[in-house]
Amino acid sequence: MAHWRGYLLGLAALCAAGPAYAAPSTYDEAFAKSFAETCIPGRLGYGTTQAAAVEAGWAEVPRSDDARLDALMAASERGAADPELKATFVFKTYARDIDGQRHYLVVSSTTAVVTDPADPWIVTGCYLYNFDATVPVDPAPISAVLEGEISRTEERDGAVSHVWGPTCPYPRTLDTYLNFVPVGSTVAPDVPFAGVGLSFTTSEPDPGETVPESYC
């Protein structure tokens, strides 16, 4: 499954339900803060997202830094190589600690031909991972960052997926996914990862296009 296609988690098979949360923890708040300062400032471009990541304290690492990251990127490459997609997929991988825990970041750019080869669809992706997470992240701080409500929460076999649609403060942003998949879950092979993963993608503007700061 390519990164740019998001994390579906077999949503059609999930039941509309979600776990109850207490107040957000220090970690939940730190995760949301890192998302806000890493993914949002440069979201309209691949290079600008990389620059924002470095500014936020992420250090570039090889994908082999963690076997789980390497396996995830291999799956993404296989998904992007689908000839029906006619896509190209490039990425950089980074690492840093959040609240004392090792996290990985993937910044990607996917170019796909939807209809006209002269007018491809270019999507910048920003993905945060905590492969060692054993509990889901409270979505409330993410909602605060996005300034929007969750559009769908679904759960299966311990896996939880929260989805936000595009929100008015961030033009050209696509759906945002916050997922938790426990080790051993039947969902894990479909994602494929265990732990916490956040997917944030933005459609790159056309050359010369002026993007408003907000639609609000």
Kindly give, in sequence order, each residue whose CB lies less than 8 Å from that of residue 154, ignoring residues fewer than 6 positions away.
9, 11, 14, 15, 16, 17, 18, 160, 161
Percentage of the residues of the chain whose pLDDT score is greater than 90: 64
End-to-end, the C-alpha distance of the chain in Å comes to 33
Do residues 50 and 69 make contact, with C-beta atoms less than 8 angstroms apart?
no
Upstream peptide bond of 207 is cis (omega within 30 degrees of 0): no
Query: Which is more confidently placed, 85 or 68?
Result: 68
- Backbone angles phi and psi of 144, in degrees to 5: -65, -40
- Split at pLDDT 50, 70, 90, the class of 22 is low
pLDDT digits (tens, 9 = 90+) for 115-156: 666 677 899 999 999 999 999 999 999 999 999 999 999 998
d(CA 114, CA 86) in angstroms, rounded, equals 8
